[in-house]
Amino acid sequence: MAMKRKLDVPDDRLSSLDEHGHHIEIEPASVSGRYRRARDWAYFVLIVVFLVLPWTRFGGEQTILLDIPARRFVFFGLSFWAHDIPLVFFVFGIMCIALSLVTAAFGRIWCGWACPQTVFIDRVYRKIEEWVEGNHHERAKLNRAPMSWKKVRTWALKWFLFFFISTNIAHSFTAYFIGAERLLGMSLAAPWENWTPFLFVTILTAALLFDFGWFREQFCVIMCPYGRFQSVLMDDNSLGVLYDEKRGEPRKGTEEEGHEHGDCVNCYRCVSVCPTGIDIRRGTQMECIACTACIDACDEIMLKVGRPEGLIRYASENSIGGGKTRYLRPRTVVYASLLVAFIVGLGVSVARRQMIDIQFIRAIETPYTQKVFDDGHVEITNHYRIHLKNQYTDTLTVSLAIAAPNPGVTLIAPTFPMRIAGNETQKTHAFFTFANALTATTGRQTISVEASFPLDGETLIEVVPISLVGPFGNSADENEAASDGKTESGDETKAEDDE
Ligand code: SF4
Ligand code: SF4
């Protein structure tokens, strides 16, 4: 039989563990109050955004799509490809620094107000539990009751609803990677037609069931890395959910005889509502996820006993000790400056990103050919494969030309001007012909090719350097060394024979 949790939290272990280290289920009491109402709204908005976003479109594409097999990532109409990975440096940097700044200023506000673990457990799974099993007293009674048909029926209903919610969350999450409409089509087909997505959704559903249905606060307390290093990011000016010891102590029942007790009436209401089962009166603790439930709970009690609210409140160690909270301090200034620098870096990198990615890859089997005419002059031809990627969402018509100054090279690209749909890649061929005198000195000559395309009433041009190769000296036969099969950037390239 499951062991009952004591509200008098032990000193030497987590309140969710018994003396043998076995898990004791925490059934937090429900609470009402201003923070509860605010959190309910915040959680509702976050859940709706998470579920609806994959079904929305922006600029003709899914608003956020992380298509890993195609190595294409779409954010609000902007497409990013594998070669844009350096931008991830800025994105991760912004996320880490923003979290550090928010933690330094407002403590674990992320955990209590926006972490999916808290949002889904508190707003969805616990609500289902309350609806099916009743309030925390009834839940505790049921958990500790011997097995019966009633218990089996109640648990079966609860876990069925948990499964239904978990599978919906798993599908919505997967839709960010596969595309909502594509996933819907896959869901209607037999599993063996799409084994990988089917297994992914199944495993994710099982993980969500385990975590949100049973593991719960243990993830925050035992596993979450952010919880581990939050103390490094916080100082005495960081806000947190704190108990005003000066006001509350000595709590009722601990006062000396003939003396008044403090404002804390020792009712344990703050402990009974805590989802991680801690007693906030013991000071800042790693297990506190700053969910504010104990603030609302204590405010209720203070109203009842006719004392001012705020015995437990959002405060910094400095302010609760009678001083002032300093928001502007070296730590926050450094984090804010870094954040601005990273945001600017990301903005500049996105603005300067090449939207037409064009690569010329020399055909390795025939780096050049030569043709000798009757009059003795020799014409050299270089064969290139072209990989053209349109990173816009609009269809473009791309033209190619040799950029000035043209040292006498003719471009033969019969497939150009080429229409290329948004977010598509095309592969084609081009040939460059020139007189052998062009490469006679070094065996190489660099030229520039312009890829131009009209967009929004303007003609945009991207310039690509190409290294032409040919014989140096008087005869092509003298120097096969020039035929080294390299791209214009000098990288060894095996152009795939794809056409
Ligand atoms: S809810 Fe308030 S009064 Fe009751 S034990 Fe907690 S701190 Fe003390
Ligand atoms: S101590 Fe208060 S704020 Fe912290 S987790 Fe428990 S109820 Fe939430």
Q: How far is it, in rounded angstroms, from Cα 169 to Cα 124? A: 11
pLDDT recorded at residue 438: 86
117 alpha carbon – ligand 2 mean position (Å): 15
Kindly report, residue by residue over 52-89, the tens digit of the pLDDT.
Answer: 999 999 877 899 999 888 788 888 888 887 777 778 88
Closest ligand 1 atom, CA of 251? 8
Atom 7, ligand 1: which residue's CA is nearest? 264
Probe target for ligand 2 pocket from 117, 241, 281, with the most ligand atoms within 8 Å of CB: 241
Strands 57-58 and 312-315: unpaired
Residue 133, CB half-sphere, CA atoms under 13 Å: how many?
Answer: 27
The tokens describing 141, both together, are: 């009674």
Helix (H, G, I), strand (E, B) or coil at 35: helix
pTM: 0.78
pLDDT recorded at residue 5: 55
Atom 8, ligand 2: which residue's CA is nearest? 291
**What is the number of the ligand closest to the CA of 305?**
1
**What phi and psi values does residue 193 have, to the nearest 5 degrees?**
-80, -20
Atom 3, ligand 2: which residue's CA is nearest? 290
Closest ligand 2 atom, CA of 287? 5
Q: How far is it, in rounded angstroms, from Cα 406 to Cα 432? A: 12
Q: Which of 278, 275, 287, 167 is nearest to 231 (CA)?
A: 287
475 alpha carbon – ligand 2 mean position (Å): 84
Give the pLDDT means over successive 10-residue stretches in the chain (499 positions). Answer: 58 74 86 96 97 90 88 83 80 94 93 96 96 94 91 96 97 95 92 92 97 92 85 90 94 87 94 93 90 97 96 94 89 96 91 81 80 86 89 84 87 89 87 88 87 83 88 54 38 37
Signed CA dihedral, 75, 79, 81, 85: sign only: negative
Q: What are the angstrom distances between the C-alpha of 334 and each of 48, 302, 346?
A: 34, 40, 18
**What phi and psi values does residue 171 have, to the nearest 5 degrees?**
-65, -45
Atom 8, ligand 1: which residue's CA is nearest? 264
Q: Which of 103, 155, 437, 499 is nearest to 290 (CA)?
A: 103
Residues 6+ away with beta carbon under 8 Å from 256:
250
pLDDT recorded at residue 225: 87
Closest ligand 2 atom, CA of 280? 1
Atom 7, ligand 2: which residue's CA is nearest? 274
Q: How far is it, in rounded angstroms, from Cα 444 to Cα 173? A: 52
The tokens describing 320, both together, are: 């609760």
Closest ligand 1 atom, CA of 268? 5
Ordered domains of the chain (ranges, CATH)? 34-272 (no CATH), 356-498 (2.60.40.10)
385 alpha carbon – ligand 2 mean position (Å): 62
Atom 4, ligand 2: which residue's CA is nearest? 288
Which residues have C-beta atoms less than 6 Å from ligand 2? 241, 273-276, 278, 280, 288-294
Cβ proximity of 313 and 326 under 8 Å: no
Q: How far is it, in rounded angstroms, from Cα 157 to Cα 312? A: 37
The CA angle 197-199-204, to the nearest 5 degrees, is 95
Q: How far apart are the first and last CA of the chain?
A: 69
Q: How far is it, in rounded angstroms, from Cα 185 to Cα 58? A: 21
Which residues have C-beta atoms less than 6 Å from ligand 1? 243, 248, 264-270, 281, 297-298, 301, 311-312
Q: How far is it, in rounded angstroms, from Cα 434 to Cα 77? A: 42
Say what the alpha-carbon torsion angle 283, 289, 294, 295 is, to the nearest 10 degrees.
Answer: 90
Q: How far is it, in rounded angstroms, from Cα 398 to Cα 418? A: 5
Closest ligand 1 atom, CA of 265? 3
358 pairs with which residues across the strands? 388
